[in-house]
Every structure is written in structure tokens, then in C-alpha cells.
Amino acid sequence: MAQNEYVIFKGKVTLGVPFLEGYKGDPHYVIVSETANGEQFRIVTNVKSDSSLTGPAGYLVLYEWNQNFEHPMIAQLQQLPAGVGTAGFPTLDYVHDANLVDLSSMKPIPLDTQTEHNDINALLNEMLQLDMSAPPVDFVYPTPTYNDNRRGWKPAADVTVYGFGFLFEPQKDGLHETHMNQGNPKEPKGGKVRDHSSENGVNQDGAVIVEVNGKFQALFVAFQTQLVPTDAHGNPIPGESHPILG
């Protein structure tokens, strides 16, 4: 189980910031929103995996982009107040909720930071309805150790984002882990792949869902290193679990 707090954030999108060539740090797309108090809140989602040593194209994330998302949770989402929700919101589970996402339909997707085409950047740009014809807006992406100067674009429509993930600590001014958070295998000590098994849990998966004019879209992301099915604690089942791609 991940240590930080699992939450939902609901708010109006003010800026979409794709991860482009020359940017520092972890490859994250940044969705910028505002809290009810007008303060900035950031939702970040992975555009590539950190497991680049697992084989050819091992850095490619898996994704499903549902452009007509329908689920019983939609009515609940629409009733939620804006801001961070820590209780009373519908939680996500890629593995144990058969109505949420079809894992067998997930596909690997490359990272194209130069042209922004055919990658998670491009999908989110479209989901957020960014006006890419307009001049970019300067955006300073803060991290605990440095600031990175990036470029963002404003949406051309009124877009509500629902981000599921874990709060930044200690500032609580954003969330991350907007991907599947279970099925991570226990890596051998001294191995070359980062061990994310301590983050496993059920009903704590992340995603980005957007609403425009009452229509919902959802982006679900997972990693090629993650295994399914999982047990009641979100851990792979010995002798039964396998990679999502089969």
C-alpha cells in the first residue's frame, strides 16, 4: 500500500503542459487546475516508464483512452464539490472492477517529445482541448530540488478534470501516481529495475478523467512490468499472474 494519501481532485483546467524535449526530471505531463481558493493544483501523469531496462521498448507505458466513458461513478463525480476529496468518492481498481477498464485492450505507446504526436502528450492535449495554435504560456514546474521552465497551452473549452492519485507531500498542492497502482512484482535485491511492490494496493488506482459539456473521457495508464490478476492486497499471485500484455 502506498504511503501517501489516495485522493481525487476535481477542478477546472487552466493549462496543459506536455513533457517536451530538453525538460528536466521525470517525464510527466502536468495538468494545471485551480482550487476553490484560486490556488494552483497540479495533476501529473507519466508519459514513459522508469523501467527502461526490461527489454526492447520497455519504457513504453500501456494505455487505454476511452473517449466515451460511461460508468455508474459518473453521477457521483458530477455531485462532488470542487477541490481535493479524501473520502466519499468512488475509488478506482483496474483489476477488480470489470466495468472500469479492459486491460486486454491496453496498448504500448511511445514517447515523442519532439513532435508531440502519437504519444500520451498528444492524447492529453486533445482530451484537455488545448488551443495549440495559440502562443504557449510560460510555466515554472516546481520540484523539491529544482524548478523547470516549461511551456503550456490553455484549453479552448470549459474542461473539468477529475484526477485520481496520491497527494504530493508535504505541500499537498498536487497529485501523482495517476496510473495502475497494483501488480508490481517484488524485484530482487540489487536488480536493475526499481521495486514498486510497496506501492501495491486495491481500490487505489489512478487515472485522468475529463468532462466537457457533460461528456466524459478517461485515460488509464499502466506499466509493462505490472502483473495481473492480483490478490486482495494488490500483489501478484504466484504461479497465476502474468504481464498485462499476456
Q: What angle do CA 232, 236, 239 make, to 5 degrees?
A: 115
Grid coordinates standing for 11?
477542478
In whole angstroms, what is the distance from residue 48 CA to residue 159 CA?
25
First to last CA, the chain: 25
Closest by CA position to 201, among listed 169, 234, 164: 234
Strand ranges, E, within the chain: 6-17, 28-34, 40-46, 61-66, 83-85, 107-109, 137-142, 147-152, 160-167, 174-176, 207-212, 215-223, 227-228, 242-243
Q: pLDDT at position 1, please?
A: 46
pLDDT at 202: 98
Cell numbers standing for residue 121: 502528450
d(CA 162, CA 89): 11
Distance CA 112, CA 43 (A): 20
The Cβ of residue 239 has, within 10 Å, a number of other Cβ atoms equal to 5
State the Cα–Cα distance between residues 39 and 18, nearest whole angstrom. 21
**3-state SS class at 174:** strand
Give the contacts of 142 (CB within 8 A, at least 6 positions apart): none
Identify whether the C-beta of residue 27 lies closer than 8 Å to the C-beta of residue 52: no
H/E stretch holding 135 = none
Confidence (pLDDT) at 190: 72
pLDDT in tens, the chain (246 residues): 456 899 999 999 999 999 988 898 778 999 999 888 888 999 999 888 765 555 656 678 899 999 999 999 999 999 999 999 999 999 999 999 999 999 999 998 877 655 545 589 999 999 999 999 999 999 999 887 889 999 999 999 999 999 999 999 888 999 999 999 999 999 877 776 778 899 999 999 999 999 999 999 999 999 988 999 999 999 999 999 999 987
